[in-house]
Homo-oligomer: A and B are copies of this chain.
Amino acid sequence: MAQAAARRNGGKQSRIQTENRALIMQAALDVFSTDGYRGATVDRIAERAGMSKTNLLYYYPSKEEIYRSAIEQTVEDWLDPFAAIDPDGDPIEELRRYITIKLEMSDRYPEASRLFANEIQRGAPLVGEFLQTRLKSLVDEKAAVIRSWIDEGKLAPVDPYHLVFTIWATTQHYADFEVQVQAILGGQAKKPGFNEQVAHAVLSILLNGIRPR
């Protein structure tokens, strides 16, 4: 048993284990993000990961555990840059940095973005509690920061919560609705420099919208 072996040598995994688990996670992101939890099949995930279904189930005990693992990883990655918004930094610069990072994440990990979107649209059966506890308090905290920036006259008076929602919505749109964006923009959405164009446009609209006037 690999698990037993791993336990024996202090929780460490063999090289092949680490590799296979990484392969499975990437495949899981791909499949779950397009087909959803219920629509995804272990077979497809295994195929994408380049191994047999039974072999995959040797690494993860069940479909649900694969999903849980993928979504927990995604959630952690999402939180970091938001938590990093600095109350003592320049408001416009802090938000510019956050928006830029989120756009980069949407570009580099669109499957993760879609996986999370799918989980929320399903009614968040797995991350529901997380939303109401950790995420809520973090947003409350950052909303207070934004409010204080507004009170100091450094930002236009906008509702902090809806500002956060607006940032999330716009930045994730380029991952979640990638197909639509490409259908409308055609080839240019593939060209180099497209990401900079997106960043410029989004930043220009949002930052102008909240700059004090």
Assuming A158-B205, A173-B169, A205-B210, is B180 touching A131 (CB within 8 A)? yes
Assuming A156-B208, A169-B173, A183-B136, is B162 touching A201 (CB within 8 A)? yes
Q: Does A34 count as interface, using CB distance less than 8 angstroms?
A: yes
Instruction: Give Cα A169 to B168, complex, Å.
Output: 9
Contacts of A92 on B, CB cut-off 8 Å?
none
Say which residue of B40, B117, B184, B209 sits within 8 Å of A206 (CB atoms): B209
Segment touching B, from A7-15, A46-54, A58-66, A121-129? A121-129
Contacts of A184 on B, CB cut-off 8 Å?
131, 135-136, 139, 161
Say which residue of B38, B186, B213 sits within 8 Å of A35 (CB atoms): B38
| Residue contact A166 to B123, C-beta cutoff 8 Å | no
Contacts of A177 on B, CB cut-off 8 Å?
117, 120-121, 165, 168-169
Given contacts A120-B176, A169-B173, A208-B210, 11 further A-B contacts (CB under 8 A): A34-B123, A35-B39, A38-B38, A120-B177, A120-B180, A135-B183, A135-B184, A159-B200, A205-B209, A208-B208, A213-B213
Number of copies of chain A assembled together: 2
Assuming A158-B204, A206-B205, is B118 touching A179 (CB within 8 A)? no
